């Protein structure tokens, strides 16, 4: 078994030019600049709102005590989400990440491992239709037919929504 090239904490890289390019892409891309701008507007707004609610609470508004605690929490959440949005690799997470793993399960150096992985991947699930339906009632048979049709049509996604919705009569 070959040692993995990936190190926990992907910001540690062996070659300096690649690291610098990764830093520039992460911190200075168009998306990152908009995140920085939102961060620089949102957090000071939360600080000002906290100060405003504290002064209102000192003037006797009891509800402002709660708001004077909420605004710093919002600022902390803003910092957390700003950091997470900057450091999330969208090519490695979610549906796109799963598709990338299926398309390229291993590096080119691991050709033997890739061949082994192809043999160990599960086969696609196929739906078998039951031939004997004499014991089922009509409603169960209708339900099973609907499930078979859904399985045959594939997964429902936002790009391919279900076109036919069956509603039960009331």
Query: Is residue 77 domain-resident?
Result: yes
Query: Is residue 127 domain-resident?
Result: no
Better pLDDT: 47 or 26: 47
Query: Is residue 33 domain-resident?
Result: yes
CA distances in angstroms from 87 to 13, 34, 131, listed in the order given: 15, 14, 53
- pLDDT mean across residues, the chain: 75
pLDDT digits (tens, 9 = 90+) for 37-77: 999 999 999 999 999 999 999 999 999 999 999 999 999 99
Query: Is residue 109 domain-resident?
Result: no
Query: Is residue 121 domain-resident?
Result: no
Instruction: Tell me which residue has tokens 């049709």.
Output: 149
How many CA within 13 A on the CB side of residue 56?
15
Task: Give the Cα separation of 81 and 77 in Å (integer).
Answer: 6
Q: How many domains does the chain have?
A: 1
Determine the angle formed by the axes of helices 30-58 and 63-87, rounding to 10 degrees.
Answer: 170
The confidence band for 22, taking pLDDT boundaries of 50, 70 and 90, is confident
Q: Which residues contact 38 (CB under 8 A, 6 or more apart)?
A: 82
Helix (H, G, I), strand (E, B) or coil at 88: coil
- Domain containing residue 76: 16-88
48 φ, ψ (degrees, to nearest 5): -65, -40
Six-digit token string for 124: 């696609």
Query: Is residue 58 domain-resident?
Result: yes
* Arithmetic mean of pLDDT, 118-137: 58
Query: Is residue 40 domain-resident?
Result: yes
Query: Is residue 98 domain-resident?
Result: no
* Arithmetic mean of pLDDT, 75-100: 85
């Amino acid at each position: 078994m070959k040692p993995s090239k990936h190190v926990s904490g992907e910001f540690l890289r062996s070659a300096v030019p690649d690291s610098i390019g990764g830093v520039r892409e992460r911190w200075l891309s168009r998306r990152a600049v908009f995140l920085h701008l939102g961060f620089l507007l949102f957090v000071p707004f939360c600080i000002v709102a906290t100060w405003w609610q504290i002064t209102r609470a000192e003037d006797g508004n009891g509800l402002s005590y709660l708001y004077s605690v909420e605004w710093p929490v919002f600022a902390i959440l803003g910092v957390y989400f700003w950091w997470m949005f900057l450091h999330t690799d969208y090519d490695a997470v979610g549906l796109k990440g799963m598709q990338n793993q299926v398309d390229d399960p291993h590096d080119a150096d691991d050709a033997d491992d890739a061949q082994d992985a192809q043999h160990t991947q599960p086969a696609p699930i196929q739906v078998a239709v039951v031939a004997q339906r004499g014991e089922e009632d009509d409603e169960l048979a209708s339900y099973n037919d609907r499930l078979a049709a859904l399985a045959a049509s594939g997964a429902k996604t936002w790009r391919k929504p279900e076109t036919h919705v069956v509603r039960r009569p009331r």
